[in-house]
Copies of this chain bind each other. A is one copy, B any other.
Amino acid sequence: MPQVDFWYEFASTYSYPAAMRIGELAARYGVEVAWRPFLLGPLFAEQGWRTSPFNLYAAKGRYMWRDLERICAALALPFRRPEPFPQNSLLAARIALALEGPDRSAFSRAVFRAEFAQGRPIGEPATLAALLDAIGLESQDVLERAQDPANKERLKAETARAMSLGLPGAPCVVTADGEIFWGNDRLEDALEWAGRATAPRDA
């Protein structure tokens, strides 16, 4: 089965609809998804940005909020603008990375839902502990593993990997043959590409 990497950031607005729909969509395309949380902060810092470009560039920001509202309405996803934006996503990313497989994707969807559907503060340990408990994980244990120095280093390495791949933002899907597809609106293209690239040539 072809595999793709799904790079996402918990503070990223378009990562929300992408995270909520990539599971079902990939199953339909027969593609396996590796969930790879990372941090946009260092990518933005390299451009000289100290906050989201949606805050720095007013017309872009206004457009994005309305666009996201329309996208969520079309997908029947509840939507509420996080205050403040962007939320601090560091601990959530560390926790996601400390989990594996279905635990990681279930936790990640729970974080996005809390942040963009319910307006809850995802930077706070209490919010994240409650989300872990709700999906049946031992929150104290997971939080300890998340804050372990080795796990912190792993998140730094993942973020460095995202930068060395040249990801322009989040979310991105990267196929096995190295193609980058940026944005919620490129998920279908990415999954189709992944299926095509690995199809037998003489089928």
Q: Which residues of A contact B (CB under 8 A)?
A: 43, 47, 57, 59-60, 62-63, 66-67, 70, 166-169, 179-182, 185-186, 189
Contacts and interface: CB of A to CB of B under 8 A. Distances in A.
Nearest to A71: B189
A62 to B, nearest CB: 6
Contacts of A67: 181-182
Contacts of A181: 67
A63 B167 CA distance: 8
Contact of A59 (B57, B63, B168, B189): B168
| Top-10 shortest CB links A-B | A63-B168, A59-B168, A60-B168, A59-B166, A185-B185, A47-B57, A62-B166, A63-B182, A63-B180, A59-B167
Contacts of A43: 59
Residue from A47, A59, A179 with most neighbouring chain B CB atoms (10 Å)? A59
A23 to B, nearest CB: 22
